[in-house]
Chain A
Amino acid sequence: MKLPHRLHGKTICLIGLMAIFGPLGDVLLRKGMKQIGAVSSWHPEVLLNTFDRTFHSGPIWLGISSLLLFFIAYLLVLSWADYSYVQPASAMGYLFVAVLGYLLLGEVIPRMRWIGVLVICIGVLLVGGTPPRTTEEG
């Protein structure tokens, strides 16, 4: 898809914000859920208790705020760019999540998983970099 010149600057800026706030939000959610603990029972009382603790967790709210900023940027971009144009921009998000998980949460990431994440990024770039429309109009 070829965007008019006037849209390039704001598209790149908003996609940049998406690349930062999306992965950061996911990492903060993991931090919050780690503090709350694994959901180990489907008993309604346990679930309700987990739900309550989730919504009183600082990292969860920071994560939600970060994802909300990601979502707003995403909505704005989608108002002029196609879904298939915006999608590949999120490819690097998978790598950023792994890097942030390693740096901020100290997650142990085996070499095979790093390779897998890189292969996923390349795959997502290839999937997304195709013409936005392959069916007939109308």
Chain B
Amino acid sequence: MTGRDAIFLFIVIFAGTGGELAVTHTMKRVGEVQSFYPHHLLRVILRAFRCGWMWFGVSLMAFSFFSLLMLLSWENVSFVVPVTALSYVLGALGGKFLLGERVEARRWIGVALVCLGVLLVCVG
């Protein structure tokens, strides 16, 4: 992995995770989707887009998407997508140190395995 790849990977992970959290927050406010009829789904989507968090989340996800496209222009998909699993490490660290969540041993083992897996993918 080159320095350039690392910078774009960093953007993909941070912007992508931030975007997902913002979108999750929006959907929880919109409420459970009960009906799958297209006009009902459209109404849910329109309601979601009336929420500022949705726009923030989608903007971050778009930024992450364009960074992913750049990465995919340089590297194989079988390399790029697995290394983006580092977002789980970010999630656990952010949960522990920013949100004060109790991260159990099992989750730390998972984080360690993701790091080991990424290392193996990089040297492979």
Contact = CB atoms under 8 A, between A and B. Distances in A.
Interface of A: 23, 26-27, 29-30, 33-34, 36-39, 50, 54, 60, 72, 75-76, 78-80, 83, 87, 93-94, 97-98, 100-102, 105, 107, 109-130, 134-135
Contacts, number: 166
Contacts of B27: 75, 78-79
DSSP class of A's interface residues: helix, strand, loop or mixed?
helix
B39 interface: no
Interface residues of B, number: 57
13 contacts: A75-B45, A75-B48, A76-B33, A80-B33, A107-B77, A113-B78, A113-B120, A115-B120, A116-B121, A125-B110, A126-B107, A129-B106, A134-B95
User: At the interface, is chain B mostly helix, strand, loop or mixed?
Assistant: helix
B30, B112, B120 pick with most chain A CB within 10 angstroms:
B120
B22 to A, nearest CB: 11
A119 B116 contact: yes
A34 B80 CA distance: 13
B38 to A, nearest CB: 11
Interface string B85-124: 1001001100100011111101101111111111111111
A38 B73 contact: yes
